[in-house]
Structure 1
Amino acid sequence: MHRNAQFCGRGSNLIKIPGMSDTHPAPLYSTLSHAEVRSVIIGLMLAIVLGALDQTIVSVSLPMMAADLQGVDLLAWVVSGYLIAVAVATPIYGKLGDLYGRRVMLSTAITIFLVTSIASALAPSMPFLVGARILQGLGGGGLISVAQAIIADVVSPRDRGRYQGYISGAFAVASVSGPLAGGLLTTYLSWRWVFWINLPLGLVALFISRRALTRLPVPKVKRPIDYPGAILMIIGLATLLIGITRVGQGASWVDAGNLRLFGATLVAMAAFYWQEQRAEEPIVPLGMFNNRTVAISCTILFIAFIQVVSLSVLIPLRLQMLTTVGADGSALQLVPLSLGIPVGAFIGGKLMTRSGHYKKIQLVGALIVPIGVLALAFVDPHGILPGIFCMGAIGLGIGIQLPTSTVAVQNTVEYRYVGIATAVAAFCRSLGAAIGIAVLMALLLAALQADAPASAASFSGGEIIKAMMGDATVHVNAMVKMQLAGTVENAFRQIFSISAAIAFVSFLLGMFIKDEYLGDAPPRTDEPAMVVD
């Protein structure tokens, strides 16, 4: 027998996972007051901000970290290590939340995050900092996935869009505004303050969430945990993301190290697939992706966060290479993007609440993003107003997709599977963030090197970036720099065009999604079950 489940809409048959108990506490939203729901949402938004902020807040602080800790060769792993850990942790937290209750898992994630933030702030060396950041990502992944799953516990499906809009907006604003916050803290205090700032936010989030979630249901049935599946998934995804990240740092796709990493990925993921077919309680029920709504919505979230994280890195990089604005100035120009995302999330959530549907709203957002990114590719980087308009539109389109896709996933599964379904959606977002920036940076480096003028033919893509940003280790005269400017502009035009094509895939996929009604009643749990032999 297959041990995966096919998660279908509320009115259709459901193929269940053999061995999984149907006993699961009912959702609370029929008994919570508006004030109680608001208290829960505030705590969840703080948790989301904590997890998302640390994905990008260190980016502007990296040069100072390298100077203080003498570890330039490990610098990229301060960001990549965190993103990889977040990606592999999210589905595990979702499953554990379904098994042991989301209140205890959220508290655990916040505690891990705070302890590792202290370790990061006190780091005496670069290897120590990288290790602390990886452990911090294990906490950050729980913050994001468990917080979003709790929405399904305290809010009815019809109202879920509005609150998911708040949550998605908080996540996106934290992700995009991280570089600006990191730059200000580093400039006026110290790079260590990008970690110290987590303590007051985390303690408030821990206090509010512990207090607000006392009535959250806790499963009474203790079930086995798929430890082999979790370990195989961690190995498979970590080796994949490490290999892609190395490419983004200039390594060849087919160098010996990457071939070993990708080989390990294939072996681990094949073993993971086999394990999930036989596990009594699979860590990721792969049959979930047999449901069209889940598969498409998770892909849309994956693509959306390719845009969120890659644009938050590529736009400032383009401005610093082609204009006279510094790190702070380029980070400030991301404000339209960071403001557009919560506005779009709020609009998308409100429209879902009003209409009770999500497909058309989702499609509008999916169409706006590729148009905005393609326009950005051909906008003069010196033109402030056109750039602001494009980034605002992109943020609006991304924001609209976030709550609609998350609610679509939650609405199409039974309540007892909401935790793992939400975690899988969050995992796809984190995977998009980690893979997207690695791949697009790799393509940017390749484009810079391929189109370099004869006067800089020996330069690598990384050296061209350093030369255009005035790095003293790569000296070029004014004439060569002028020639390189054309190369840089063409390279970014190519990368943004590729990014727009990727974004357009969301619109094409969204045409095939099923537009189910978002009701006010709890999800049905008495639907007929079938087991696939």
Structure 2
Amino acid sequence: MSSDVDANPEGNARPGQSVSVGRFLQIFSAVMLPMFLAAADQTLLATATPSIAAELGGLRDTTWVSVAYLIAITATVPLYGRLGDRYGRRDTLLVALAVFCAGSAACGLAVSLGMLVAARVLQGLGGGGLMVMAQSLIGELVPPRERARFQAYFASVFTLANVGGPLIGGLVVHHVGWRWLFLVNLPLCLIAGWRLLRLPRGSGNPAATPADPLGALAFASAVTVSLVWASFAGYRFGWTSPTGLILAIGSAVLWAVVITRELRRPDPFLPIELLRERSIRYLCLTIVSFASCLFALIFFLPILTQIGHGADARQSGALLLPMTLGIVAGSTVTGRIVSRTGRAAEMPIAGLSISCVALVLMCVLPPRSDLIAVLGALCGFGFGSVMPTAQIVSQTLAGRDRLGAAASAVSLSRYIGAALGTAIFGAFVFALAPGSAARIDPHNLAATTASQLSHAIRIGFGALAAVAAIGAWFASRVPRIRL
């Protein structure tokens, strides 16, 4: 096991310094809203899909509305990290906010499904920078030990946005229509921009590694093909069909090109210089494992309750609230423990172990609503330990001059985990359900009986428990740091 690491890289504020209440409110109010907007739009449309399909047509193809946003946001995360380090993090965040605002307006005005998908790509191109630059600004403006408190609050905001997205979306769609899910972003973006302008501008580092546009294009292509294959194989086309095989081979070739190019370039698009470090690799794998479990639960717990118990969309969305509260509690407790002890790396080990136990119990116990609520809260409590400490550890190991690259590595890991968890868990569950996986459509769940699909999802929870256990092992390989 690695020895303790001093967390006070040159140029950062000393650990003994503290952030005043006024300063805290200034930073929190400026950075929280962009983070909330980016996180909420990842899950906001879960309950709006039928309404969008009714107006624009093509229920089956509405999956692209979510996939397009996820592809764009995943592909741009490393780019924003580089741009923030080079040109200044506050100004880069303002640019990302403007792009996100323009994409939101285009989504609200879309008159066809194709236009909506294109607008979601534009929105995702801005959304990729909101989370990364928000996290980087915390590292720039807040001393290391104080970051634990900030990261706990922001992890709570992120979780509330992700898990509350389907419930908020259902209420908005029910009362005013799906277009307002996007149009409401416009005044919120203006407020966020005003608050950001009140923060210190900061200065970029002209000597920082510049962005690699060709690397960005290659990475975006690899991500696109991979997510299309992982999202649609098994029900839009068979895994071994010509389409499935072409996409799988194309994905492997594109990733080989990306990796080969990035390893040879002095200015790689991806944060290769960080990923070469063993501790950062294990940290990123921990985040991928955590995000895979979290997003699989966000999307499939409502399905379990709707199919297994006949709950409506609002009731199934409400069943996610215990998990949300558990994550908030876990994040808060983790932040306070780290602030008092100065030790961060141990928390994800315990947290993911707790989540593993909860997922095992979800697999073996009957899927009653009360048990799901209690176990969801326990699982969330364990998940709450990961992101606050991951940000602190990554920023500490990377150093002040590479805060943007560190934030992009963490965010990229989270988004990859979210995509893989949702897509692969879905493919796994519907493969276990009766009939050919190629004929089962996740958007037409009535074709599958309640008991059969419920059984498949519970087996899937057992697989997620294994993923959480692997994540805890990855976390145990990260060096212990002292803040």
> Under TM normalisation by the shorter chain, which class is it?
over 0.9
Indicate if the aligned counterparts of 1:83 and 1:433 stay in contact, CA closer than 8 A: no
Q: Aligned ranges for residues 194-273 of structure 1 at < 5 Å?
A: 194-214=181-201, 216-221=202-207, 224-247=210-233, 249-273=235-259
Q: Distance in 1 between matches of 2:438 and 2:208?
A: 59
Q: Distance in 2 between matches of 1:83 and 1:513?
A: 28
Q: Which amino acid aligns with 1:380?
A: P
Q: Residue 352 of structure 2 corresponds to which residue in structure 1?
A: 366
Q: 1:205 to 1:249 in 2, by over 3 A?
A: farther
Indicate if the aligned counterparts of 1:449 and 1:459 stay in contact, CA closer than 8 A: no
Deviations 1:13-40 (A, max 9, x none): x9xxxxxxxxxx9457879755234312
Q: 1:463 to 1:243 in 2, by over 3 A?
A: closer
Structure 2 counterpart SS, 1:129: helix
Q: CA deviation at 1:239?
A: 1.3
Pairing partner for 1:349 from 335, 345, 354:
335
Q: Residue 275 of structure 1 corresponds to which residue in structure 2?
A: 261
Q: Residue 471 of structure 1 corresponds to which residue in structure 2?
A: none
Q: Residue 466 of structure 2 corresponds to which residue in structure 1?
A: 501
Q: 1:379 to 1:218 in 2, by over 3 A?
A: same
TM-score by length of 2: 0.93
Q: 1:186 to 1:280 in 2, by over 3 A?
A: same
Q: Distance in 2 between matches of 1:179 and 1:260?
A: 34
Q: Distance in 2 between matches of 1:225 and 1:377?
A: 45
Q: Distance in 2 between matches of 1:225 and 1:313?
A: 34
Q: Which amino acid aligns with 1:461?
A: I
Between 119-128 and 506-515, report the one with greater CA deviation: 506-515
Deviations 1:290-319 (A, max 9, x none): 323211111111111112221111000011
1:445 maps to 2:410: no
Deviations 1:95-130 (A, max 9, x none): 111111111110011111111101101110001101
Deviations 1:463-498 (A, max 9, x none): 89532xxxxxx6xxxxxx8xx333223211211111
Q: Distance in 1 between matches of 2:476 and 2:209?
A: 38
Q: Distance in 1 between matches of 2:442 and 2:348?
A: 41
1:78 maps to 2:65: yes
Q: 1:28 to 1:40 in 2, by over 3 A?
A: farther
Q: CA deviation at 1:273?
A: 2.4
Q: Distance in 2 between matches of 1:156 and 1:437?
A: 35
Pairing partner for 1:486 from 447, 451, 461:
451
Q: Distance in 2 between matches of 1:222 and 1:389?
A: 47
Q: Residue 19 of structure 1 corresponds to which residue in structure 2?
A: none
Q: CA deviation at 1:73?
A: 3.3
1:39 maps to 2:4: no
Q: Distance in 2 between matches of 1:370 and 1:378?
A: 13
Q: 1:91 to 1:206 in 2, by over 3 A?
A: same
Q: 1:31 to 1:372 in 2, by over 3 A?
A: closer
Indicate if the aligned counterparts of 2:296 and 2:425 stay in contact, CA closer than 8 A: yes
1:56 maps to 2:35: no
Q: Aligned ranges for residues 89-104 of structure 1 at < 5 Å?
A: 89-104=76-91
Q: CA deviation at 1:259?
A: 2.5
Deviations 1:61-108 (A, max 9, x none): 000100000122321111111111111111110011111111111001
Q: Residue 5 of structure 1 corresponds to which residue in structure 2?
A: none
1:399 maps to 2:384: yes
Q: Which amino acid aligns with 2:445?
A: K
Indicate if the aligned counterparts of 1:26 and 1:217 stay in contact, CA closer than 8 A: no
Pairing partner for 1:192 from 167, 179, 183:
179
Q: Which amino acid aligns with 1:267?
A: V
Indicate if the aligned counterparts of 1:110 and 1:202 stay in contact, CA closer than 8 A: yes
Q: 1:448 to 1:105 in 2, by over 3 A?
A: same
1:435 maps to 2:424: no
Q: CA RMSD, aligned part only? A: 2.4
Pairing partner for 1:183 from 170, 178, 188:
170
Q: Distance in 2 between matches of 1:27 and 1:255?
A: 54
What is the aligned length?
Answer: 478
Q: CA deviation at 1:11?
A: 6.3
Gaps of 5+ in 1: 1-7, 15-24, 451-456, 468-473, 475-480, 519-533
Between Structure 1 and Structure 2, whose CA radius of gyration is higher? 1
Q: CA deviation at 1:265?
A: 2.5
Q: Residue 116 of structure 1 corresponds to which residue in structure 2?
A: 103
TM-score by length of 1: 0.85
Indicate if the aligned counterparts of 1:9 and 1:412 stay in contact, CA closer than 8 A: no
Q: CA deviation at 1:220?
A: 4.4
Give identity over the alignment, percent.
Answer: 29
The structure with more helix, counted as a fraction of residues:
2
Q: Distance in 1 between matches of 2:333 and 2:131?
A: 21
Pairing partner for 2:138 from 122, 131, 151:
151
Q: Residue 384 of structure 1 corresponds to which residue in structure 2?
A: 369
Indicate if the aligned counterparts of 1:224 and 1:280 stay in contact, CA closer than 8 A: no
Q: Residue 476 of structure 2 corresponds to which residue in structure 1?
A: 511
Q: CA deviation at 1:268?
A: 2.5
Q: 1:242 to 1:464 in 2, by over 3 A?
A: closer
Q: 1:11 to 1:164 in 2, by over 3 A?
A: closer
Between 440-449 and 291-300, report the one with greater CA deviation: 291-300
Indicate if the aligned counterparts of 2:93 and 2:133 stay in contact, CA closer than 8 A: yes
